[in-house]
Amino acid sequence: MTDRKGETTAQWARRHLRNGYVILTRRGLVALYGAAVRELAKLIDAPVGVFLAPRDLFRDGPRFLREQGLRATCGALLRQIAAQYDPPLGRRRNPVNDPLRKGAISYYYTYELTKPDGVVPSRRPVNEMDFALEVPFAYEAGPACERRIAAIVHAFYPDVLPLLLEKLRNVPGAVDLFISTDTQEKRRAIEEICAAWGKGKVETRVFPNRGRDIAAKFFGFRDVYADYDLFVHLHTKRSLHGGAALARWLDYLLDTLLGSEPVVNSILSLFDDPMLGIVFPQHLFELRGILNWGYDYDLARTLLKRMNIEIDKNLTLEFPSGSMFWGRCAAIRPLIDLNLDFDDFPEESGQVDGTLAHAIERSLLMIAESQGFEWLKVARCDLYPMGQTLLPVRRAEDVADHRLKVFQPALARVDSFFHPYEAPVVETLPLLSYPSRNPRPRLTLLTPTVNPQQTFGGVATALKLYETLFDEIGDDFDKRIVVTDADIETRAYAALPGYKPVPYAASHDGERAVIVDAYEREGGRLDLRADDLFLATAWWTAEFARALEQDRARYFGGARPFIYLIQDDEPNFYGRGSKSCLAEATYLHGEQTIAILNSEELFSAMTAKYSFREAYCVPYALNERISRLLASVPREAVILVYGRHTVARNAFELICAALFIWQQRDPIRASRWRIVFLGEEFPRTLLYPLQNATVGGKATLEDYANHLNRALVGLSLMISPHPSYPPLEMAEAGLATIANAFPGKDLRRRFDNIVSPTRLDPASLADAVEETVARMEPYVGAIIPRKTPSAPPQDGALFDPKAFAGKLREAALP
């Protein structure tokens, strides 16, 4: 009897008993319980997948059940329980991210393309998490300076106009009126009503009855906007199609926007923020259940494409329902410049949806955001029933705090949910963003981990290069490390004392040096500044860097390159498939990419295949600390192996097979030699039936140097064009080192004590081990000096931190 992995039942049981014993003895009974629950999740659902916290079962469970099914929902719940009891292998709930979990916004949404009636559904924040500023503010607010204000009003029903004028008198200072209607008779009535208007000029125009208030306000008065700083859009709304439920809509909108002088002053004070483009009322409560794309999605998408704005239905749909709002004229400029006319709108026939006017209404905030502007919603506590979602403004500083809840960008990606088909490529779960108001430039390092036990050569090199750059940049830039693939552990924070731990959540972004745990994605956002630059360290972080740069450009404009520390030809890490394609795609954005390539061999290989905006080579150099620790001591009969069984390109299985063949072939000599595996911790059982072998795990630099001082033979494979540092370190320390060649890579050009087998199969590698051990055995007890490397030819630019720091300044501040 076999299971799905091809194991017999007995083999499966032995494997799990062995693993259980290791967990029990090393991490205790609680961790064993967590691991058992994780195995149950695998049996019920899949080895990897989403997480569902028990406390969120009632809130999110129905959605999980509806979208993923019963098995996936049970699996998600079990995985979360396992993560809580077995943190080293699961998702440790980093307390730094408590604000993320507390403030994460939930959404109503569906991936259905259309409803049965053809309506395109929308993503909307749940009612309890859809926030607005409470007006009037609780202090005497007012604008810092006087601005030219235009009230642009469509008066299809002139008898309603006196109410609008009454409300407009609450605006302090001058207000020029621009009023439209559809007949000359109505125009004369409007002029009569406005005859007593004393706060500014009055201009009335007659337009065709097409496009309703939208066409009239935006395009009938297109010439007006350039002469004013702010406008308020109003119309004589009756909503006859809505019955009693919408009877109060007009009063609700007017009272929220213009209901009193304190209300108006509160709103106008918000426009002291130059980044604010639109202020509109929180949606009428009776409308909340029907806020969707309706039949307008295709119209809106086509319209927005004309303004170079791309959307999809999974973005959050937010808009000033009722089309009454305060705005900054510059925020709607792209729409005005389209030169739409009344003929572009359908003839009036009482439509309640599916027209260009409805599409424009739903597009307004996206247009404003495309120009770098933000928006805010306001509401009055006496008019809106969900008082817990109204944020009181007791002092001017409160607005900055509340903005983080109210403004949820309509053009920013929202979906950080883990879909089943993403299981093989979990690294690419997106990082969501939020626009920051901090003007300082910053360099962000995107790295899979900073945890000491996971920090191997690539991550260590990235951290070192990052700090070396800041030695040259100094205080010109702020610093940020974003960790994408592992919860940051306490030891990692201790190892980076200069960085303040902050959550993966929108903030005031005022710190100079921070470290962000972005492993827990759902509900979080990463602050983005106008002058952010990104340093990527692996193919998926390069994709994050490119996507974040796109977000930055949308928020603030301009274009910036991203920096890509390339430490291997990463498509070769995988079989031909999705991951290899995704990895290679990150090398194909040449004009955006400043490449830093680790080692001369890799530089030659990658620049021959790909074109980059700029490319620099980081030459191999022995770690300074290891160099200081190398000492002349008697050598021992030790084979030092770089053995990482989790990394395919290090060919762990091939090494073990070759050593076993050598031992069985030459047992007497082999009995005199010890084998030490360094690189990562793994169960000793993985080496069976190899003899005289020990697992040294991930050694400290001191322990590693001690092994280099005493061993005689080194064995380290890297099936890629990157040379890998371990074989070079072994060779420089004087070990006779067995390392493979690769197209474009021959390490014998660097050291004459490196041996490269002609073929990489167990028997050929065993031949190399036997020959090398026999040659070096006479040197047991001898002192062997370190070697001086010979650098291979290098045609490209060498990486110079000082010069590169200057380029960063130019890139961030063009």
Q: Single out the residue of 331, 171, 131 nearest to residue 266, CA to CA.
A: 171
d(CA 20, CA 465): 40
Has residue 122 been placed in a domain?
no
Can you state the percent helix, strand and coil of the chain, rounding each to 5?
Answer: 45, 15, 40
With beta carbons less than 8 A apart as the criterion, state whether 812 and 558 touch.
no
- Encoded tokens for 214: 């939208």
In this structure, the answer to whether residues 363 and 439 fall within a common structural domain is: no
d(CA 520, CA 383): 38
- CATH code of the domain covering residue 463: 3.40.50.11090
In this structure, the answer to whether residues 637 and 722 fall within a common structural domain is: yes
Q: Phi/psi at 667 (nearest 5 deg)?
A: -65, -35
Has residue 318 been placed in a domain?
yes
With beta carbons less than 8 A apart as the criterion, state whether 655 and 643 touch.
yes
With beta carbons less than 8 A apart as the criterion, state whether 562 and 536 touch.
yes
Residue 90 is predicted with a pLDDT of: 41
Has residue 439 been placed in a domain?
yes
In this structure, the answer to whether residues 767 and 715 fall within a common structural domain is: yes
In this structure, the answer to whether residues 593 and 642 fall within a common structural domain is: no
Degrees (nearest 5) of the Cα angle 573, 579, 583? 75
Domain finish residue from 73, 91, 109 = 91
Write down the residue that tokens 């040294």 correspond to.
696
Q: Phi/psi at 109 (nearest 5 deg)?
A: -165, 165
d(CA 449, CA 482): 9
Instruction: For residue 125, say if its preceding peptide bond is cis, omega within 30 degrees of 0.
Output: no
Has residue 100 been placed in a domain?
no
d(CA 109, CA 312): 13
DSSP state of 104: P
What is the extent of the structural domain holding 285? 128-406
Residue 134 is predicted with a pLDDT of: 98
pTM of this prediction?
Answer: 0.84
3-state secondary structure of 171: coil
List, in sequence order, every residue forming a beta bridge with 149; answer none if it has no partner: 230
Has residue 67 been placed in a domain?
yes
Has residue 494 been placed in a domain?
yes
Amino acid at 725: Y
Question: What is the distance, to the nearest Å, from the Cα of residue 167 to the centroid of all Cα atoms in its chain?
Answer: 44
Residue 91 is predicted with a pLDDT of: 45
Has residue 801 been placed in a domain?
no
What string of H, E and C letters represents the secondary structure of 448-486?
A: CCCCHHHCCHHHHHHHHHHHHHHHHHHHHCEEEEEECCC
Q: Which residues in 335-420 belong to E strands, given as ranges? A: 374-379, 390-391
d(CA 410, CA 572): 38
Domain finish residue from 342, 372, 406 = 406
In this structure, the answer to whether residues 200 and 348 fall within a common structural domain is: yes
Residue 313 is predicted with a pLDDT of: 93
Residue 89 is predicted with a pLDDT of: 42
In this structure, the answer to whether residues 331 and 240 fall within a common structural domain is: yes
Residue 2 is predicted with a pLDDT of: 43
Residue 797 is predicted with a pLDDT of: 87
Residue 191 is predicted with a pLDDT of: 96
Q: Sort residue 243 into left (φ over 0), alpha (ψ -120 to 50) or beta.
A: left
In this structure, the answer to whether residues 613 and 635 fall within a common structural domain is: no
Q: Single out the residue of 229, 192, 230, 209 nearest to residue 154, CA to CA.
A: 209
With beta carbons less than 8 A apart as the criterion, state whether 410 and 365 touch.
yes
**CA–CA distances in Å: residue 715 to residues 453, 694, 699, 721, 727:** 22, 14, 16, 17, 7
In this structure, the answer to whether residues 400 and 437 fall within a common structural domain is: no
Domain finish residue from 378, 406, 434 = 406
| Low pLDDT (below 70) residues in the chain | 1-7, 11-12, 15, 22, 25-27, 47-50, 55-56, 58-59, 67, 84-92, 239-246, 417-424, 793-795, 813-814
- CATH code of the domain covering residue 759: 3.40.50.2000
> Half-sphere exposure (CA, 13 Å, Cβ side) for 764?
9
Degrees (nearest 5) of the Cα angle 515, 521, 524? 75
Residue 27 is predicted with a pLDDT of: 64
**CA–CA distances in Å: residue 722 to residues 446, 563, 579, 601, 745:** 21, 19, 19, 6, 8
Residue 714 is predicted with a pLDDT of: 98
Q: Single out the residue of 799, 809, 351, 810 nearest to residue 618, CA to CA.
A: 799
* Total domains present in the chain: 4
In this structure, the answer to whether residues 191 and 55 fall within a common structural domain is: no
- Encoded tokens for 349: 């026939």
d(CA 167, CA 260): 7
Write down the residue that tokens 């291979």 correspond to.
792
Q: Single out the residue of 328, 325, 346 nearest to residue 336, CA to CA.
A: 328
In this structure, the answer to whether residues 609 and 683 fall within a common structural domain is: no
In this structure, the answer to whether residues 208 and 313 fall within a common structural domain is: yes
**CA–CA distances in Å: residue 644 to residues 53, 447, 478, 602, 747:** 33, 20, 36, 21, 20
DSSP string, 410-455: SSS-------GGGGGGGGGPPPPEEE----S-EEEEEES---GGG-
In this structure, the answer to whether residues 706 and 577 fall within a common structural domain is: no
Q: Single out the residue of 359, 354, 350 nearest to residue 319, CA to CA.
A: 359
- CATH code of the domain covering residue 321: 3.90.550
Write down the residue that tokens 């030809």 correspond to.
569
Long-range contacts of 104-108 (CB under 8 A, 24+ apart): 104/522, 104/523, 104/524, 105/129, 105/408, 105/523, 106/59, 106/60, 106/523, 107/316, 107/414
Has residue 530 been placed in a domain?
yes
